[in-house]
Amino acid sequence: MDVPGLEGVIGANEAALTRQFGTPRLNVTEGDVRKLQFSGESCVMDVYLYPPRPGGEPMATYVDTRRASDGFDVDRAACVAALRGR
């Protein structure tokens, strides 16, 4: 998935995401799926990681973002940039 502004996020594993955004606020495992949540003053980002094949290392396949103040959706690329710049 090639989404402008999400380069380095989509396709990244947990270690790569942690290097970019720091320790996740939440780290949830359900079966072989992972959800990492990163937050800053302006936004909250949930990154969903699924294994590309059974038994494979989970990789980020989807990103959901919202404003930290009220939960309304925000531009994903803008949130990624804000969290990288904290």
What is the spatial distance between Cα 39 and Cα 14, in angstroms, rounded to a whole number?
Answer: 16
Give 18-52 pLDDT, tens digit per residue.
999 999 999 999 988 999 999 999 999 999 999 99
| 26 close to 40: Cβ distance less than 8 angstroms | no
pLDDT category at 3 given cuts 50, 70, 90 is: confident
Please determine, for residue 2, whether its predicted confidence score (pLDDT) is greater than 90. no
pLDDT digits (tens, 9 = 90+) for 58-69: 999 999 999 999
The pLDDT score that the predictor gives to residue 85 is 81
Instruction: Indicate the average pLDDT of the chain.
Output: 93
Tokens 């925000």 belong to 74
